[in-house]
Structure 1
Amino acid sequence: MAGQDPALSTSHPFYDVARHGILQVAGDDRCGRLIVTFSCCRMPPSHELDHQRLLEYLKFTLDQYVENDYSLVYFHHGLHGGNKPSLGWLQSAYKEFDRKYKKNLKALYVVHPTSFIKVLWKLFKPLISHKFGKKVTYCSSLRELREHLQCDQLPIPQEVLRYDEKLRDLHRGLPPPDTKKPPPRPPLPTQQFGVSLQYLRDKNQGALIPPVLRLTVTYLREKGESQRPARARKQLVPAQGVSVHPEHPTGQRLEELEPSRGWPGTERHRHRGSWRGLTGWLPVPTPLC
């Protein structure tokens, strides 16, 4: 996967998060400080990522470097409603990153900020110290980021590069470039869906049907009939191939049914004659179980 550390092993304590390449440690800035990048475009949908695990992974990674000065580059492009963390999570994350992490953070670069960032800034401004606020630099393009950092050393995602190129073309009046689908992320060790047949064959000793699906079908075949309600198992032989309610005989006229027997409004339709004119003899269907 683009952006994934080739040395990343499935034994990594946060492999389920690290495999996406959201957080990466890059080279040094012009002052010799380590650079850490956070790429929103590599965040999967919220139902595929435990945001609490993401927070723990961020702290786990930064713990290795916060004793020295470092800079953080935040690529905002790619954050949308499908993968966006909640405001409560953001507030919790800010509180988790105490003075230990903020002290040696010398610069925070926000690349391609949007109105969402401005709204967040207003919401969290009472919680953010003036000293920390001075460390934040907004860069509306990669060209502005290059004024502060050597971008050749940064692992900038292809999605961010294409988006920046699109912005430049819009300023020049050119049509936007064709977008390409990002490469698929590597599957989890136990993943059975959304993978290739070859992957299933290698993981399941040649079987192509995922074990969970095979076991589910087997269980339904063996136990499903005995688990159905007795009312659903009762065989009813209706007239003209239509199941009927056990309380009413087949072929009884609808207008003959009393409202108290579960047919409210029958009296009204009987006077109007709508049911008789449209349906005539109407069998009563069996309710679904």
Structure 2
Amino acid sequence: CLHVLFFSSGGSLASEDFAPGFLSPSPEDDDDPRLDLDLDAMETPSDSESLHFPNYDLDLEGERSEGEDVVDSNGTRWRCFSTGDPPQESRVNMTVLEPFLRVLSHGGYHGDGMDDIVVFSSCYLPENHLENYQYVMDNLFRFVVGTLELMVAENYVIVYLCSGSQKDKLPGIGWLRDWYTTIDRRLRKNLKGFYVVHPTWYIKALITIIKPFISSKFSRKLQFVDSLQELSQLIPTEHVQIPEELD
């Protein structure tokens, strides 16, 4: 059964579309400033819209062969990705991302067509009070986009493992919106399912709010999954890396 959020034809939420209490916050959510959102300030991107990332001037030691990380004179490790159509090169600071690399992993394959299973674990995201949080998230953005293009051969599904008790690790709406509109059209087309595991109220609210920025096709691929047992009935999970707090 797909528990998917839909908008009415006029673009506004229809209350009858939701089960009773679906968007009723828990007591601890009442004072959560992350849910006070300025929707008027958001711009709705088109499917063809792409983002341009800043290039970094690197003082590199030695020559770089394709696919290898490089180290600058300060000892910072960088990785280059070529993404988009036409291809656009971006560089990622892998040194600053070292504590957060487990956020993205490959969870095996699914179905007769051997669809890739891509796992996104929100518990490995940086906390939003980190001193250089925006810089880390900018690099993480490029890392996720670039790695996803390398990781996925054909069709794939995404498993989003929610970190229920850590609201300070929840990505901002702009980050999620830009990620979806920046990934290559091939990846948007080949996405066959998006499973949100252990969704909390504020995750559901966040997904509801970003609905105007994503396509109806994506909405039909979205499914909330209440437990790991339920997830195992949808896809094979023996190779999915489950964080200890969710196991």
Normalising by the smaller structure, the TM-score range is: 0.5 to 0.7
Aligned to 1:55: 141
RMSD: 2.4
Structure 2 residue identity aligned to 1:27: G
Aligned to 2:10: none
1:123 equivalent among 177, 202, 209: 209
- Contact 2:116–2:152 at 8 Å: present in 1 too? no
Q: Please give the alpha-carbon distance, in whole angstroms, between the structure 2 residues aligned to 1:99 and 1:12.
A: 26
Structure 1, unaligned stretches of length 5 or more? 1-7, 162-289
How far residue 129 of structure 1 moved from its aligned partner, in angstroms, is 1.7
Q: Please give the alpha-carbon distance, in whole angstroms, between the structure 1 residues aligned to 2:194 and 2:95.
A: 26
Structure 1 residue identity aligned to 2:174: G
Within a 5 Å distance, the mapping from 1:49-198 to structure 2 comes to 49=133, 50-78=136-164, 80-161=166-247
Is the aligned partner of 1:30 residue 2:116? no
How far residue 79 of structure 1 moved from its aligned partner, in angstroms, is 6.3
Structure 2 residue identity aligned to 1:58: V
Secondary structure of 1:153's counterpart equals: coil
How far residue 61 of structure 1 moved from its aligned partner, in angstroms, is 0.5
Within a 5 Å distance, the mapping from 1:128-277 to structure 2 comes to 128-161=214-247
How far residue 141 of structure 1 moved from its aligned partner, in angstroms, is 0.3
Aligned to 2:37: none
Distance change >3 Å, CA 66–CA 28, structure 1 → 2:
closer
How far residue 85 of structure 1 moved from its aligned partner, in angstroms, is 2.5
Secondary structure of 2:174's counterpart equals: helix
How far residue 83 of structure 1 moved from its aligned partner, in angstroms, is 2.2
Secondary structure of 1:149's counterpart equals: coil
Q: Please give the alpha-carbon distance, in whole angstroms, between the structure 1 residues aligned to 2:216 and 2:243.
A: 31
- Contact 2:177–2:213 at 8 Å: present in 1 too? no
Q: Please give the alpha-carbon distance, in whole angstroms, between the structure 2 residues aligned to 1:88 and 1:37.
A: 21
Aligned to 2:97: 17
Aligned to 2:58: none
Identify the structure with the greater helix proportion.
Answer: 1
Secondary structure of 2:111's counterpart equals: coil
TM-score, scaled to structure 1? 0.48
Q: Percent identity?
A: 33
Highest CA radius of gyration, 1 or 2? 1
Aligned to 1:41: 123
Secondary structure of 2:167's counterpart equals: coil
Aligned length: 154
Moved over 6 A (4+): none
- Contact 1:40–1:79 at 8 Å: present in 2 too? no
How far residue 78 of structure 1 moved from its aligned partner, in angstroms, is 4.5
